[in-house]
Structure 1
């Protein structure tokens, strides 16, 4: 089985008001390395700064199964939250901030240059994504996989949708992060490359334009990782529930394996125009699982649950072989029954009795609920909050 791991971007928030707090540098300093006697690195997680000081990124080590990955995701969230509590803050797995506030760009030369070049896009870019890294045997295999998964990635936007609010406003979208993120010049779905040489040529041509500063700004929905032998799928919102995050990682790994087998069997990529992929992503961002998605076979509207189950059917041979089919079906059933993160956020707003988003107290209640779910997942409502027991974690 292929290894997989994830990166999660988490908001740092005021536990009373829900307003994002620019504490990432202080929080990171408190995330001390584990002692030399700690358990092996494959069971460790790491942390790093992101574009904004109101967020922190967690990274799991490579895993082989859902259970191990879920444990690392929960552990990383708990450890980050414990460090935030020391500073009078909490962390929340929200893809955008429900509360309006000024943001602060992390003081790094690269980010300062981006701020100068991209202006409002950087000033407003407090968004939290979820990236899945899956092991590949070679860059050639990776490009072949990129060509064969591009038509199915919009479904992951829908199931991960967790950003209905933006700076104190109701957006009308399930994943408004997708809309905000796609303002970057190289973000979104990519073409069919056909070969590693063409992939490298396209990246080189993008850099030669002078618009992008480096390869790290090639924000394709899925890309070859620069520093690891992995393929990185980047379309998802950070998930409110850790269980949903691990489920999406399982689906991504099965997508990668299925696409690799198609390549080895001589199956050509589906020749879907990139403009249709953009339309599918927009629809998924707008409707999530509440309405209709564009079916990845026909690219015509179909009920969201049917599209999601069609993806499961497509992945069933690999999922069954890897012992994950029932797990994946159960996870999809759970999300359809209980709602995505966006649906949970709106439910929390209604439950507050202050369902006018102009009322800061209602959105503060949304954030407080998100803090609980971030740590306790599906058991959030019933869970108390003892200090987490932490181990095998290091600073990245």
Structure 2
């Protein structure tokens, strides 16, 4: 992904290109998961299979505009939804098999040897749905400065997006069961000091067999590109649970973009390599521990700040982040884009709201089925707005 050329008439840097990889479950309106990814991918352009056929993925093309990305997020979903309706199926919310069955793997491509490896090595721990956020950067120093900051703050993005409190029809005790069960590979990842450090580390992992290929690098945030590890052009944020609401997804993305901009504009203040009192090994351990804590308790989690290791609640830290990015958000016209994050801080993320309903006596099936309905209504409303003044006002 390359950044667009800056307009000659403005002193504000252009927005970064961004794109999304969206994984979704398919199933019935009552929340029962029914796999059909191979058939859907064969019938619909732009969709690809996952190893288990109960979820599938689509990718939006690189685009800097948030308003345009809203259209790019919605169009494939609505196309897929129409295809599913002919089979009395729909799209399901959440990032785990909320109503089951995680006891068995359902292969989308039984002849694929890499899928053999995935099933035999990890089983259904990988059968999750999520959204990966890609931010375009081509200069290596800003890319790795942004990577370090996002690695140290990835737990906050998970806290905003957590949507997997259920598995197999039961409450798991976590807000993001997906992140706790997903097999991070390799198990330990350093805080990369430079592009050269990253290249050396990747080559070592491939030689040792801890990674099967360059794609087999599953961590919270990673560099990416068409010729990785050598040719890089973006950061990929992989930690977020599935965010069913596209407007909220764009708000989370805008917060991440603004944090990357801070690291780019003033690395002495915002690059943890330069601004933290902790050494890089401590920072890597802190980031991983924060990710696990956010997976368990999301906005209520007690995390440790990357500047000095001080304990801080995720919700309070996010409020701090929003204050820190406010001037930059105004300069980029992104203040309305990040506004939905305030509602999440006040009302809780999707996992917290679902757990609240369950504590009040609703069944998991009833909660998921109601959210299926909400997804449809939300998409219809947003589709009617795209390209209008209302959408432009919503997304800047």
Q: Does the TM-score normalized on the shorter chain lie above 0.5?
A: yes
In structure 1, what is the equivalent of residue 247 of structure 2? 243
1:29 is aligned, of 42, 57, 61, to 42
Query: In structure 2, what is the Cα distance between the partners aligned to 1:223 and 1:250?
Result: 18
Equivalent pairs counted in the alignment come to 358
* Alpha-carbon separation, structure 1, partners of 2:125 and 2:292: 20
SS for the counterpart of 2:320 is helix
Alpha-carbon contact 1:148-1:259 (below 8 Å) kept = yes
Q: Which residue of 2 aligns with 1:372?
A: 373
Q: Unaligned regions of 5+ residues in structure 1, if any?
A: 34-45, 356-361, 392-396
Question: Aligned-pair distance for 1:296?
Answer: 4.3
- The aligned residue for residue 338 of structure 1 is 347
Normalising by structure 2, report the TM-score.
0.82
Do 2:51 and 2:118's aligned partners in 1 also have CA atoms closer than 8 Å? no
**Cα 1:296–1:71, aligned 2, differ >3 Å: closer, same or farther?**
farther
Q: How does 1:129-148 map to 2 (within 5 A)?
A: 129-148=130-149
Equivalent-residue separation in structure 1 for 2:323 and 2:385 (angstroms): 39
Indicate the residue corresponding to 2:210 in structure 1: 211
| Partner Cα distance (1:372, 1:300) in 2 | 42
Counterpart in the other structure of 2:126:
125
Matched with 1:2 is 16
Distance 1:163 1:204 in 2: 34
For 1:334-358, what per-residue CA distance to the aligned partner results, in whole angstroms no more than 9, with x for missing partners? 112333111233355467x5x4xxx
User: Which moves more between the two structures, 137-146 or 199-208?
Assistant: 137-146
Structure 1 residue 277 and structure 2 residue 287: aligned? yes
CA shift at 1:174, angstroms?
0.8
In 2 relative to 1, CA 47–256 (structure 1 residues): closer, same or farther, beyond 3 Å? farther
Shift of 1:237: 0.5
Can you list the C-alpha shifts for 1:274-320, whole angstroms capped at 9, x where unaligned? 22112111111111124544444444333333111111123234322
Query: In structure 1, what is the Cα distance between the partners aligned to 2:355 and 2:191?
Result: 38
CA contact (8 A) 2:150 2:256 kept: no
Instruction: Give the match for residue 94 of structure 2.
Output: 94
RMSD: 2.8
**1:153 corresponding residue in structure 2:** 154
Task: Provide the secondary structure at the position in 2 that maps to 1:19.
Answer: coil
- Conserved 8 A contact 1:63-1:69: yes
TM-score normalized with structure 1 length: 0.82
- Find the aligned partners of 2:170 and 2:334 in 1 and give their Cα distance: 39
Shift of 1:178: 0.8
Cα distance in 2 for partners of 1:224, 1:57 equals 20
Any idea what the Cα deviations from partners look like across 1:75-117, whole Å, max 9, x if unmatched? 332222222222221112311121121431331221112223x
Quickly say closer, same or farther: Cα 1:350–1:67, change in 2 above 3 A: farther
Distance 1:173 1:367, change over 3 A: same
Question: 1:169: how far off?
Answer: 1.9
Secondary structure, counterpart of 1:215 in structure 2: coil
1:302 pairs with 2:312: yes
- Gapped runs of 5+ residues in structure 2? 1-14, 227-231, 388-396
Q: Do the aligned partners of residues 136 and 370 (structure 1) sit closer, same or farther apart at CA in structure 2, a change above 3 Å counting?
A: same
Deviation at 1:204, TM superposition (A): 0.8
Q: Secondary structure at the match of 2:41?
A: helix
**Pair 1:287 & 2:300 matched:** no
1:187 and 1:218 in contact (8 A); partners too:
no
